[in-house]
Amino acid sequence: MKKITQEKFVHEFKKRLAEKYALDVKDAAPSELYQTLVSVVKSGYSDIWRNTWKDYVKNDEKQVYYFSIEFLPGRLLKSNLLNMGWYDIVEKGLKEMGLSLDKISEAEVDMALGNGGLGRLASCFMDSLASDGLPGNGNGIRYKYGLFKQKFVDGYQIELPNEWLTDGNNWAVARESKAVDVLMGGQVHLIDNGKYLEPIYEGADVIKAVPYDTGIVGYRNDHVNTMRLWDAQIPATEEVKYPTIEDRRRVEDLTSVLYPDDSNYEGRILRLKQEYFFTSAGIQSIVRHYKKYKKPLTKISDYVAIHINDTHPAMCVAEFMRILLDEKHLDWEVAWEQTVKTMSYTNHTIMAEALEKWPLEMLEKVQPRILQIIQEIDRRYALELAGKRDQDFIDRTRIIKDGMVKMAHLAIIGSHSVNGVAKLHTELLEDDVLHDFYELYPERFNNKTNGIAVRRWLQVANPELSKVIDQTIGTKWRFDTKKLKELEKYADDKKVLKKIGQAKRSNKVKLADFIKQETGIVVSPDAIFDIQIKRLHAYKRQLLNLLGIVKLYLDLKDDPKQKMIPRVFIFGAKAAPSYHYAKSIIKCINEVANLINNDPTIKDKLKVVFLENYGVSLAEKIIPAADVSEQISTATKEASGTSNMKLMLNGALTVATLDGANIEIKDHVGDDNIFIFGLTKDDVLQYEKDHSYHSADYYNNDPVLQRVLNAFVDGTIPNIEVEGHEIFDSLLRVNDEFFVLRDFEAYIHTKEKVAQTYADQLAWQKKCLINIANAGYFSADDTVAKYAAEIWDIKADQPTEGTLDDVYP
Ligand code: F55
């Protein structure tokens, strides 16, 4: 990294501000200051960026390409400064000029090219690949509009377009010279030219894919990787084919919008086109780049690993085959061997509605040659199994069935590795969802429990707590998060516990100020901050949380003098625009919030805050202030979850079902350090098998539950005439698909235990400390290191070890 001193930084900053905007510091607007800072920061890593990718070729290093239809990095400024080792100097330099890094950072618009867990994980992995010194690249789509902006109007979610590019995104570099052409549509036929089968394309659209590269700066290791996002444009040679604005828009629309669905798939042709577009552009550029290695294509899997992040890029398998066959003229068997050795695939959900299936006609429309290749892969798969497995097995597992292409089957058959994202999830894949494939290819299956960007969620988001940790165990944890474990030695040190408590309180004060400013609601930092932040989905059971809140409210109405520790319930959640039920839950949460917050008998004892527009930057404000982390999905439904890890790292205590990675959190912190309740995986599977659950029984036999549910339909909660009935019916008439009523009593009981525990602050802080100390296990740096060693077979630069003392010369 370019070395910097405070003096040099201030000089450089003023110079660039004057050059770019002809302004003095005192006259510049936050966005101008921000853009200037970006240009200084970029110049700090640009040499290293160039060297990093050149070294890969020079040293014959195998590289991984992580294909993901979503990336959700959030803001890059502070994270880049931290990773470069420039953070403190820049912060001080700005202060010298009368500026604040915090304020300037707020001018950065979140890069929100993802929906939730899957996209955030992809970005986390980008950071960790670079920080581990691994040769890794991202490959995705540069959407013109990011995930919609959420507003509440009369308690309803309204979606507004997120034009994140209006101010330009200066982190990325457009590389016109590296553009590739992607062919879509038209017809194809194969002719035998004597040497090989040559595909002849007729009437296809040629789309120019232009890469925008963003440098991904590793943590203090002089390593900068690339995230490449593709934009669709009209090639100069084809301009005449698109004479009208509408014609042009047809092409440009390809990369306009991110589909706003999380854990659900919509069979729209535009989505399928997006999938082929970034897959084809990425694979073409990889194979082109491979020429620089001067090695035969029959060895490409020794130098290239391609990762398929969920099934959206599953066409990688067929596109790679297409290039090896049609353009490089390899034999099928040789090409197939290289393909399987190159590809690996991660599954992120077992929800049936998220498993992509595309009609043959649609695939044919998008790329007829790709359909041909998929059909041939499918034919050969069935042929190979014929006689070895029964026909049922073959029918169940083949790629094409009933006129549909099953993308997960394509990804599994075409990869050497299939992984789930937490132990329980992988177990469910092996035993249930993908059991046939597990039987067929046991060696392909493995688990890689998710991890998080500890630097972003602790060092960047929570400087107060970071300082306390430094003072307690030194700074080595900033390089190796497992060292956080040393905190456990201080579990009974009252001074340390007190300091952890003070850091939390100061973060709660900040969040309380933010809540006041955003919503006008006044909350007390002495209340328990109880947090549920994640996409809104029935299986995540925000509704269970809401029922608990309504119960607390009704109890307080009965006995307003009741002694209790005040609670503030904070929600952050976007619903997919077409997910009607989830939007009804949002409306109900907002109306319950209105009712409670404005009821004078309740005073400060209970507050409910639903913050608008949840995303990475808002999470950075909420998580450091959390006391309680709600991880209450129906067991078996949440593949892993990652907010559970971020909240734990920041010292929140977890209320959890035995689902996803919650189980591994429990295993690390111990049963006494987590509040577990509810149905287990076996209970849920049993109910799903024998249909013995009748939600109405729970309603009929539990007067508390009756009262709480009736509040949704008897006018107790105002303004939800429609939504209240909808929710009531979903729990009682449709038999409560996610066992909300079944888990209600256990949940209430557990929350009572939480409040009792909080009453003893020292005991509470001890648990917080144990959570922080054990969160190092969930660092994405380690997760990615396992992918590198066990799946991709790629090697790291020398690891960096150190303390903060040796950073600034
Ligand atoms: C899958 C398919 C479609 Cl079509 C759309 C979305 C998804 C999907 O799985 N999204 C997603 O975000 N899944 C989440 O991935 C996280 C990272 O692995 C997990 O932590 C989380 O449990 C899971 O829901």
* Model pLDDT for residues 603-652, shown as the tens digit of each residue: 999 999 999 999 999 999 999 999 999 999 999 999 999 999 999 999 99
**Predicted local confidence at residue 1, as pLDDT:** 84
What residue owns the CA closest to ligand 1's atom 4?
A: 265
- Give the Å distance between the CA of 497 and the centre of ligand 1: 36
Question: Which residues are catalytically annotated?
Answer: 348, 534-535, 540, 642, 646
Q: Is 652 left (phi over 0), alpha (psi -120 to 50) or beta?
A: beta
Which element (helix H / strand E) includes 349? none
Summarize the confidence of residues 149-173 as an average pLDDT: 94
Of 136-140, 142-146, 235-239, 762-766, the poorest mean pLDDT is in 235-239
The residues with which 630 forms a beta bridge, in sequence order, are 655
Within 10 angstroms of residue 711's Cβ, the number of other Cβ atoms is: 21
Q: Which atom of ligand 1 lies closest to the CA of 311? A: 2
Cα 410 to Cα 55, 271, 339, 381, 407: the distances in Å are 34, 18, 12, 10, 5
**Predicted local confidence at residue 799, as pLDDT:** 52
Summarize the confidence of residues 654-665 as an average pLDDT: 98
Q: How many CA atoms lie within 13 A of 764 on its CB side?
A: 22
Bigger pLDDT: 797 vs 511: 511
Mutate to test the pocket of ligand 1, among 310, 355, 642, 657 (most ligand atoms within 8 A of CB): 310
Summarize the confidence of residues 300-318 as an average pLDDT: 98
Distance CA 35, CA 23 (A): 13
Could you read off the pLDDT of 761-770 as tens digits, one per residue?
999 999 999 9
- Give the Å distance between the CA of 79 and the centre of ligand 1: 24
| Residue among 522, 606, 591 at smallest CA distance from 557 | 606
Q: Which residues of 527-536 are buried (b: 16+ CB within 10 A; e: fewer)?
A: bbbbbbbbbb
**Predicted local confidence at residue 805, as pLDDT:** 42
- Give the Å distance between the CA of 116 and the centre of ligand 1: 7
The torsion of the CA quartet 692, 696, 698, 699, rounded to 10 degrees, works out to 180
Give SS3 for 24: coil
> Per-residue confidence at 110, pLDDT binned at 50, 70, 90?
very high
Asked if 356 and 265 touch (Cβ cutoff 8 Å), the reply is yes
Asked if 553 and 595 touch (Cβ cutoff 8 Å), the reply is yes
> Per-residue confidence at 263, pLDDT binned at 50, 70, 90?
confident
CB burial of residue 539 (10 Å; 0-12, 13-18, 19+):
middle
CB neighbour list of residue 178: distance below 8 Å, 6 or more residues apart = 211, 285
Q: Could you tell me the maximum CA-CA distance found in the chain, to the nearest angstrom? A: 91
Q: Which atom of ligand 1 lies closest to the CA of 421? A: 18
Structure tokens at 614: 């949840």
Q: Which atom of ligand 1 lies closest to the CA of 262? A: 6
Q: Which atom of ligand 1 lies closest to the CA of 115? A: 12
Summarize the confidence of residues 446-459 as an average pLDDT: 98
Asked if 346 and 640 touch (Cβ cutoff 8 Å), the reply is no
CB neighbour list of residue 137: distance below 8 Å, 6 or more residues apart = 63, 64, 65, 66, 225, 226, 227, 228
Summarize the confidence of residues 183-211 as an average pLDDT: 95
**Predicted local confidence at residue 262, as pLDDT:** 86
Summarize the confidence of residues 94-114 as an average pLDDT: 97
Kindly tell me if the per-residue pLDDT of 71 is higher than 50: yes
The pTM assigned to this predicted structure is 0.97
What residue owns the CA closest to ligand 1's atom 20?
A: 641
Tokens 């993901």, residue? Answer: 68
Kindly tell me if the per-residue pLDDT of 340 is higher than 60: yes
Asked if 263 and 637 touch (Cβ cutoff 8 Å), the reply is no
Q: Which atom of ligand 1 lies closest to the CA of 425? A: 22
Ligand 1 site residues, Cβ closer than 6 angstroms: 116-118, 121, 261-265, 310, 348-349, 354, 356, 421, 450, 638-642, 660
Distance CA 138, CA 129 (A): 10
**Predicted local confidence at residue 430, as pLDDT:** 98
**Predicted local confidence at residue 804, as pLDDT:** 42
Single-letter code of the amino acid located at 226: T
**Predicted local confidence at residue 808, as pLDDT:** 30
Work out whether strand 205-217 and strand 197-202 pair parallel, antiparallel, or are unpaired: unpaired
- Give the Å distance between the CA of 21 and the centre of ligand 1: 43
* Chain center to CA of 518: 25
Mutate to test the pocket of ligand 1, among 115, 263, 541, 665 (most ligand atoms within 8 A of CB): 263
Kindly tell me if the per-residue pLDDT of 596 is higher than 50: yes
Domains of the chain: 1-59+76-109 (no CATH), 63-74+114-447 (3.40.50.2000), 456-546+564-681+749-778 (3.40.50.2000)
Structure tokens at 290: 């491979």
- Give the Å distance between the CA of 660 and the centre of ligand 1: 12
> Per-residue confidence at 289, pLDDT binned at 50, 70, 90?
very high
Distance CA 751, CA 767 (A): 16
Tokens 């190092």, residue? Answer: 776
Of 62-66, 235-239, 375-379, 462-466, the poorest mean pLDDT is in 235-239
| Residue among 342, 283, 290, 339 at smallest CA distance from 60 | 290
Kindly tell me if the per-residue pLDDT of 376 is higher than 80: yes
Bigger pLDDT: 800 vs 766: 766
The residues with which 229 forms a beta bridge, in sequence order, are 140, 212
Work out whether strand 205-217 and strand 180-184 pair parallel, antiparallel, or are unpaired: antiparallel
Cα 50 to Cα 43, 305, 451, 666: the distances in Å are 12, 21, 28, 43
- Give the Å distance between the CA of 257 and the centre of ligand 1: 19
Q: Which atom of ligand 1 lies closest to the CA of 120? A: 17
Work out whether strand 567-572 and strand 606-611 pair parallel, antiparallel, or are unpaired: parallel
Asked if 773 and 485 touch (Cβ cutoff 8 Å), the reply is yes
Kindly tell me if the per-residue pLDDT of 384 is higher than 70: yes
Summarize the confidence of residues 72-94 as an average pLDDT: 98
Could you read off the pLDDT of 751-761 as tens digits, one per residue?
999 999 999 99
Cα 605 to Cα 9, 549, 560: the distances in Å are 49, 12, 9
**From the CA atom positions of the chain, what is the Rg in Å?**
27
What residue owns the CA closest to ligand 1's atom 7?
A: 263
Within 10 angstroms of residue 25's Cβ, the number of other Cβ atoms is: 17
> Per-residue confidence at 798, pLDDT binned at 50, 70, 90?
low
| Residue among 619, 614, 536, 612 at smallest CA distance from 577 | 536
Kindly tell me if the per-residue pLDDT of 62 is higher than 60: yes
Structure tokens at 284: 């073409």
What average pLDDT does the chain have? Answer: 96
Single-letter code of the amino acid located at 47: D
Could you read off the pLDDT of 22-32 as tens digits, one per residue?
999 999 999 99
> Per-residue confidence at 803, pLDDT binned at 50, 70, 90?
very low
The residues with which 65 forms a beta bridge, in sequence order, are 137, 306
**Predicted local confidence at residue 402, as pLDDT:** 97
Could you read off the pLDDT of 113-140 as tens digits, one per residue?
999 999 999 999 999 999 999 999 999 9
Kindly tell me if the per-residue pLDDT of 806 is higher than 50: no
- Give the Å distance between the CA of 451 and the centre of ligand 1: 14
**DSSP E strands: which ranges in 49-204?**
63-67, 71-74, 111-113, 136-141, 146-153, 156-162, 172-174, 180-184, 187-192, 197-202
